[in-house]
Amino acid sequence: MKDKPVVIGVAGGSGSGKTSVTRSICNRFSDKTILVIEQDYYYKDQSHLPFEERLNTNYDHPLAFDNDLLIEHIHDLLNRKSVNKPVYDYKIHTRSEEVIHVQPKDVIILEGILVLEDPRLVDLMDIKVFVDTDADLRIIRRLQRDIKDRGRSLDSVIDQYLTAVRPSHLQFIEPTKRYADIIIPEGGENYVAIDIMASKIENILAKNTEK
């Protein structure tokens, strides 16, 4: 019987570099070792709402996420069962029709703005990481990304930032830093932190193999 997979939570503000850190860690291992679960893919389905109404949702509030489904999937993966991971489409602000069938792996990285906000998720984590990047850098990165990749206008990104992203960051995301075991400044290009994370994962995997 194999050990339970190791669960690593990677939280941090939007544009802090969570995805980049996660990708850099994954690149140190074979494709078979790490499964990434993006909390973003577990935004609540909003297909029943007209597009205009979906624009009013606060996507930075804990209630925007279907954490019940996310927790069910993490439990299944911990029990070495495969799951159908939902797919989220940022351009239409709802889930897409497709799902991705994913197999359990020895390491699960759960990445998202609010993964340290729900105690039920925190309880499932072996290592908790917070990627900590200054707000000015995060908004610049977000502007570039949302306009290029998520089909957004400059005005809509700024308006959403001021009305939802910034206040929710201060209220819900920033306070979760206190739960982190490791705080990674600046995100994606902090190779010292990424090396440390990779060594820690290697150690855990080696210990599990020795047993």
Ligand X SMILES: O=c1ccn([C@@H]2O[C@H](COP(=O)(O)O)[C@@H](O)[C@H]2O)c(=O)[nH]1
Ligand Y SMILES: Nc1ncnc2c1ncn2[C@@H]1O[C@H](COP(=O)(O)OP(=O)(O)O)[C@@H](O)[C@H]1O
Identity at 182, one-letter amino acid code: I
Q: Is 15 annotated as a binding residue?
A: yes
Kindly state the number of chain residues that form the binding site for ligand Y, as judged by CB under 6 A.
14
Cα–Cα distances in angstroms (integers) from residue 109 to residues 34, 50, 122, in the given order:
7, 33, 12
**Nearer to ligand X among residue 106 and residue 114 (C-beta):** 114
Choose from ligand X, ligand Y, none: what does 189 bind? Cβ within 5-8 Å by kind: ligand Y
Adjacent-strand bridge partners of 129: 10, 182
Q: Is there binding between residue 60 and ligand X (CB under 6 A)? A: yes
How far is residue 47 CA from its own chain's centroid?
22
Q: Which of 5, 15, 17, 187 touches ligand X (CB under 6 A)?
A: 15
Q: Is there binding between residue 14 and ligand X (CB under 6 A)? A: yes
Beta carbons of 104 and 82 less than 8 angstroms apart: yes
In whole angstroms, give the CA distance from residue 80 to residue 33.
13
Q: Is there binding between residue 145 and ligand Y (CB under 6 A)? A: yes
Q: Which stretch binds ligand X (CB under 6 A): 11-19, 29-37, 78-86, 183-191?
A: 11-19
Binding-site residues for ATP, in ranges, read 12-19
